[in-house]
Amino acid sequence: MRQIAQIDIPMLTIFRPIAIFAPKLLSLFVLMMVFSAASATDGAQTPIDFTPAEKAYIVQTGSIKMCVDPDWAPFEIINKQGQHEGIAADLLQMVAKRVGLRIELYPAQDWDASLAASKSKGCQIMSFLNQTPAREAWLSFTDPIFFDPNVIITREEHGFVADAKGLQNETVALPRGTMVEERVRSDFPNLKLVLTSSEPEAMILVSERKADLTIRSLIVAANAIKKEGLFNLKISGQIPEYTNHLRIGVLKDEQLLRSILNKGVQTITPQEREAISNKHVPINVQQGIDYRLVWQILGGASLALMLAILWNRKLSALNKELERLAVTDRLTGLFNRVKLDEAFEADIKRSIRFGQAFSIIMLDIDHFKEVNDVHGHQAGDQVLVEVARLLKDNIRATDIAGRWGGEEFLVICAQTDAEGVLKLAQNLHLKFQNHCFPVVQRKTASFGVTTYVEGDKSNDMVARADAALYTAKNNGRNQVAIK
């Protein structure tokens, strides 16, 4: 190879065999593989418009030498007969046929040998790889020929991974020389790398508890788990920005060849990509009537239906969890800016339509920097979490509290006028003043409040509340001010 919710791999591996009986279940898997669009069909192609220089190159060159990954099923392998097989092989042959070139296979023993051969110009193209800064040193790239998401694979007991940056000191097994290895080194210094010589080896290390996780192509992962019987593994998360945009890599001094191949790539349609992908994950259908098989099929269909129902329930629960995480501050559990902005706009629209008053309270913890400086950031985090708990326990059910940023918090008070919001803010002020916080014991806060005025936008209200907050700070802190 050159990422969503937690999904059990064993379920994924049975999608295709039960596709005839559970099309909705299959569609959940198919939706995860989005292929790029092109305009032509194999049967009725628009002729490719080559330049005179490109035409001359095709005539004079005739054949080109290609390096591949010999062990990357189902994308590509070199089989025992020394032939190139897989999704990449079929796509590359289609491109070559359309542009009028022949492909000669460079017989590399492994991916490292292919990379070395390409760098030394032993081959002109590399078949199927991601574009990375390191590879741009000697290669130029065509448009993507195939798309495939990368997912986080762990053992079944591992928890859901919402953000890989939150993992600490876990080991990740990755094939060396790949795009994922290159990016993980820079993006996730919190992870310890264990390098392998192949895709299956990385999966086996996780299965055998010699690594905590791997980051793999969804297609490759499903294929490897089914082939190797690694059913103690599952998909625990996704890294969307790591989606594979697989391209043909061409030596930098072969710009005419890159242009020719790119024009061939652009003729491939989504239907052709899907047909080639399906060819390497076949559905076997037995012809004729076998009544024993009919009962087996009915049993399988019932099982498929039950799995579909369970899967839909699980997916619904996971989607709700993802929605919650998207609007929640990870430290305090309060709403984040995204949700506060959304609630702001809703209350403004409600006030415009129904003439209902609403107000906001902005509060800032006094001398919070001293907590971090004297007691450390962990103590500061404990204080922030305790502030969040105080707010939850002392606002009304109709109020919305969130973390505005740093040590600033915001409360949106629906159907509340100036008198009501001032009363609520003063109550919170007293609660803070008399509360015993962890580590620091006593900590006060300053409060700025304001009420909606006709014509206000959210920025106007925030600016007034912020100004009131600074008035409270300038007047000695630990008090409430209103604008």
Q: What is the pLDDT of residue 324?
A: 64
The catalytically annotated residue of 76, 181, 254, 407 is 407
CATH of 337-482, one of 3.20.20.70, 3.30.70.270, 1.10.3720.10, 3.40.50.970: 3.30.70.270
Distance from C-alpha of 136 to C-alpha of 167, rounded to nearest angstrom: 30
Task: Give the DSSP letter of residue 7.
Answer: E
Give me the pLDDT at residue 214, please.
Answer: 94
Tokens of 103: 């492909």
- Can you say whether the dihedral through the CA atoms of 187, 190, 191, 193 is positive or negative? positive
Distance, in Å, from the CA atom of 134 to the CA atom of 182, rounded to the nearest integer, reads 8
- Residue-level length of the chain: 483
Peptide bond into 270 cis (omega under 30): no
Torsion of CA 426, 427, 433, 435, to 10 degrees: -160
How is residue 36 annotated by DSSP?
P
**Residue 138 is which amino acid?**
W
407 is catalytic: yes
The answer to whether 325 and 162 are in contact (CB under 8 A) is yes
Instruction: Give dist(CA 445, CA 422) in Å, integer.
Output: 15
CA max distance for the chain: 89
How far apart CA 159 and CA 156 sit, in angstroms, is 8
- For 313, counting Cβ atoms within 10 Å of its Cβ (0-12 exposed, 13-18 middle, 19+ buried), the class is exposed
Which residue bears the tokens 């430290």?
Answer: 331
Backbone region of residue 376 per phi and psi (left: phi > 0; alpha: psi in -120 to 50; beta: other values): left
Is-contact 105 122, C-beta < 8 A?
A: no
Return the pLDDT at 224. Answer: 75
pLDDT at position 142: 97
Q: What is the pLDDT of residue 295?
A: 67
Alpha carbon distance 409, 4 (integer Å): 29
Of 411, 414, 408, 420, nearest to 472 (Cα)?
408
Q: How far is CA 341 from CA 272, 344, 365, 459, 468, in A?
A: 44, 5, 22, 10, 20
For the chain, the domains span: 33-147+244-279, 337-482
Q: How far apart are CA 399 and CA 411, in angstroms?
A: 7
| CATH 3.40.190.10 is the classification of domain 33-147+244-279 | yes
SS3 222: helix
Chunked into runs of 10 residues, the chain (483 residues) has average pLDDT values of 38 35 36 36 67 94 93 90 94 95 93 94 94 94 91 89 87 90 90 89 92 88 75 84 91 96 93 84 44 63 73 65 71 89 89 89 93 90 93 92 92 93 94 91 94 92 95 94 93
Is 0.85 topped by the overall pTM? no
Q: Which residues, at least 6 apart from 311, have a Cβ–Cβ distance to it below 8 Å? A: 11, 25, 28
CA gap 4, 8 in Å, rounded:
12
- Segments in 160-229 forming alpha helices (H): 179-187, 199-207, 218-228
Q: How far apart are CA 158 and CA 155, in angstroms?
A: 6
Distance from C-alpha of 478 to C-alpha of 463, rounded to nearest angstrom = 20
What SS3 class is residue 151? strand
Contact 76, 146 (CB under 8 A): no
Q: How do 233-238 and 359-365 pair as beta strands?
A: unpaired
Contacts of 476 (CB under 8 A, 6+ apart): none
Structure tokens at 110: 């492994």
What's the order of all strands across the beta sheet hosting 192-196? 7-8, 233-238, 150-155, 213-217, 171-175, 192-196
What pLDDT does residue 473 have?
Answer: 93
Q: Is 74 left (phi over 0), alpha (psi -120 to 50) or beta?
A: alpha
